[in-house]
Amino acid sequence: AQSVTQLDSQVPVFEEAPVELRCNYSSSVSVYLFWYVQYPNQGLQLLLKYLSGSTLVKGINGFEAEFNKSQTSFHLRKPSVHISDTAEYFCAVILNTGFQKLVFGTGTRLLVSP
């Protein structure tokens, strides 16, 4: 069975500092990988996704993620965060077999303070 692990439940950072949110997955087959963001009192919206090709994926709001097959990771990064990046971030995976279901990690809450 596929699973997604987000190692940090909460990440506090100061404004303009860099941040990395970690995501690891377990799967014996190839996968598609996603990062979603949930701002307070809102639904989820897609930040970025990796389907194939370049392992470095750029998303909205200055975020990027790198797919590392050997380490089964898909960490999310931003070089300089803003207060407005405060949100919960979910990593998700779809197996590349048959009908594909989106499986979410438990989420990481990013807290940006001045």
Query: What is the distance between the alpha carbons of residues 98 and 89, in angstroms, rounded to a whole number?
Result: 27
Angle at the Cα of 37 (from 33 to 113), degrees rounded to 5?
130
106 counts as binding another protein under rule CB under 8 A: yes
CB of residue 107 to another protein, shortest distance in Å:
5
Contact 17, 81 (CB under 8 A): yes
The window from 22-30, 44-52, 56-64, 79-87 that contacts another protein (CB under 8 A) reads 44-52
Residue matched to tokens 């989820």: 44
CB of 31 to another protein, least distance (A): 10
**Residues contributing to the site for another protein (CB under 8 A):** 6, 9, 32, 36, 41-46, 49, 51, 90, 94, 99-102, 104-107
